[in-house]
Amino acid sequence: MSYELIAVATMKLDSENLAFALLAKDFNVKQVIVKMNDHNYERIYRSVGVKNISRGTDLLIDQIMLSIESPELRTVISLGDIEVAVFIIPEKAACVGRTVAEVVNQEGFPRELVLTCLYDDDKALFRVPRGDTLLSAHDRTFLCGSRKNMEKAVTFLK
């Protein structure tokens, strides 16, 4: 099994993100993602080979729209058409006490969506979900996929 390195630059200043991107490229990291605050840096990022640029204002607008359309989802990062979002499983959700496999194998659950991790606030514990992992009320569920598929998945998780 081979792995591809991905570097993500999310520092406050674009100059720091640019320096990080240059170092990552020097270490032959194929995919570099940067958070851009000043649109004047876009040409510079592209000139050093950065193809994935997340604009702060775009993220804010996306978050506002998602909050209106799906208030139970909170976007963590947006990478083009793919997002990582957090959904907190409600107390009386149908998925509570069921395994990940039971939920994701239901007909209609989006196959193009991944449950990447679960976070238990009470225990301050991250869990990587496997098929036999039980879903619990109040788990912060990190989802990765398109917004459309996330909204479908939330319907199953509620």
pLDDT tens for 56-113 read 666 666 656 655 555 577 777 777 678 888 888 998 999 999 999 999 999 989 999 9
Q: What is the mean pLDDT of residues 30-51?
A: 90
Q: What is the DSSP letter of 133?
A: P
Q: What pLDDT sits at residue 112? A: 93
Does 67 or 156 have the greater pLDDT score? 156
Q: What homologous superfamily does CATH list for 71-157?
A: Regulator of K+ conductance, C-terminal domain (3.30.70.1450)
Q: Is the pLDDT of residue 40 over 70?
A: yes
Q: Which runs of E-coded beta strand occur in the chain?
A: 6-9, 31-36, 52-55, 73-79, 82-88, 114-120, 125-127, 140-145
Is 143 a residue whose pLDDT tops 60? yes
Q: What is the pLDDT of residues 112-138, one digit of tens each?
A: 999 999 998 788 888 999 999 999 999
From residue 68, give the alpha-carbon distance in Å to each of 32, 64, 118, 146.
30, 6, 24, 17
Residue 63 has phi, psi (to 5 degrees) of -65, -40
Cβ–Cβ < 8 Å for 54, 77: yes
Measured CA to CA, the distance from residue 10 to residue 53 in angstroms comes to 10
Dihedral angle of Cα 129, 111, 78, 87, to the nearest 10 degrees: -50
